[in-house]
Amino acid sequence: MNFSRSLIEWYGHNKRDLPWRNTKDAYKIWISEIILQQTRVEFGLKYYFKFLQKFPTIYALSDAKENEVLKVWEGLGYYSRARNLHFTSKFIVDNLNGKFPNTYLEILSLKGIGTYTAAAISSFAFKLPFAVLDGNVIRLLSRYFGIKVPFDTSKGKKLFQQLSQELLNENIPDLHNQAIMEFGALICKPKLPKCDICHFNNLCYAHNYNLVKKLPIKQKKIKIKKKYINYLIIENNNFCFIKKRNEGIWRGLYEFPKIETEDSLFVPNSKNFSKYLKNKYSIIRFSDIILHKLSHQHIYAKFWHLQSDVNHLESCIKVRFNKLSNYPFPTLILNYLKHNF
């Protein structure tokens, strides 16, 4: 059985109708691919439409302010993706006359584009013969061929990359790549794969040797760091203070002034918190502890509403409550604002 032909045939009957599959416009394909990294298709869809409505061309994106780009991206997470899109759009407009490059190596050299995205854009927009390798593809190959080498080692990466390239149908790389990823997403799913209706089940190694739950194998376990953040919503009449972050994963986004604590959050009347409050701030109310999970860290947060008559806070801007929505915030703060303002 020809692996690729079989996948493409299945794809023809079962593919989801997604907007980025009906275009050859490299700009739109690029936007969709960056949005879909670490994001479920259903969730990414509305961001895709929102993003293209606001920035329909690479020129519109390159002309935008970083704040505007982050505002559209708000809630999607992994904000470096948005910053890189913005940076790269400027680079293409300034250095390549606004024309998206059409060779794999040129695409790969762009900021924010790795081997997966370069292969996806190359094949979908320009029909270049480069095989994609994402989590869906790795899972299917590992199970079907019974590959037990951890995929996150250099040996594993090389092996999976080579195999996916060998399997590629070079005449229709766009269809092949779409088909293999769609099959991994809809049939050979991480949990509860649909082996009973999978037309590969006769030949599938993992299915035949009862290894479906064990494959693929990952070597490194992610170490989750815990963080404790007390956000201070310092209220003065209808105003409060926010600050733009200059570093970290939330660079470019806004947040309330905060105090990070070592291994637990402040409680009212605690010595350390009282030391900070002095006579300047009085507690109006505070939130329950909110747990916000990111891939590498768990953030425990509490929002403290403080009354004060201060008019100026270093590195902060004073903003009316009803103007807070003009600024981009990380999801943790955005959710709090949605439910409490």
Q: CB of residue 218 vs ligand SF4: minimum separation in angstroms?
A: 17
Quote the CA–CA distance of 301 and 285 in Å, as a whole number.
Answer: 14
The 10 Å Cβ neighbour count of residue 315 is 9
Which of 93, 172, 186, 212 binds ligand SF4 (CB under 6 A)? It is 212
Closer CB to ligand SF4, 128 or 137, in the complex = 137
Closer CB to ligand SF4, 133 or 187, in the complex = 187
Q: Which residues contact 88 (CB under 8 A, 6 or more apart)?
A: 110, 111, 112, 113
Q: CB of residue 199 vs ligand SF4: minimum separation in angstroms?
A: 8
Single out the residue of 172, 173, 152 nearest to residue 161, CA to CA. Answer: 152
Residue 144 binds ligand SF4, judged by CB under 6 A: yes
Which of 41, 172, 195, 299 binds ligand SF4 (CB under 6 A)? It is 195
Which of 27, 124, 200, 254 binds ligand SF4 (CB under 6 A)? It is 200
Q: Contacts with ligand SF4: how many residues (CB under 6 A)?
A: 15
Quote the CA–CA distance of 180 and 136 in Å, as a whole number.
Answer: 8
Single out the residue of 138, 129, 152, 135 nearest to residue 36, CA to CA. Answer: 135
Which of 52, 76, 198, 306 binds ligand SF4 (CB under 6 A)? It is 198
Chain centroid to CA 47: how far? 11
Closer CB to ligand SF4, 139 or 302, in the complex = 139
In the numeric block, which tokens belong to residue 257?
């002034």
Which of 101, 129, 156, 193 binds ligand SF4 (CB under 6 A)? It is 193
Q: Which residues contact 112 (CB under 8 A, 6 or more apart)?
A: 34, 80, 81, 84, 85, 87, 88
Mark whether 74 is an active-site residue: no
Q: CB of residue 189 vs ligand SF4: minimum separation in angstroms?
A: 8
Which residue numbers are catalytic?
33
Write out the residues near ligand SF4 by the rule CB under 6 A: 140, 143-144, 187-188, 193-195, 198, 200-201, 204, 206-207, 212
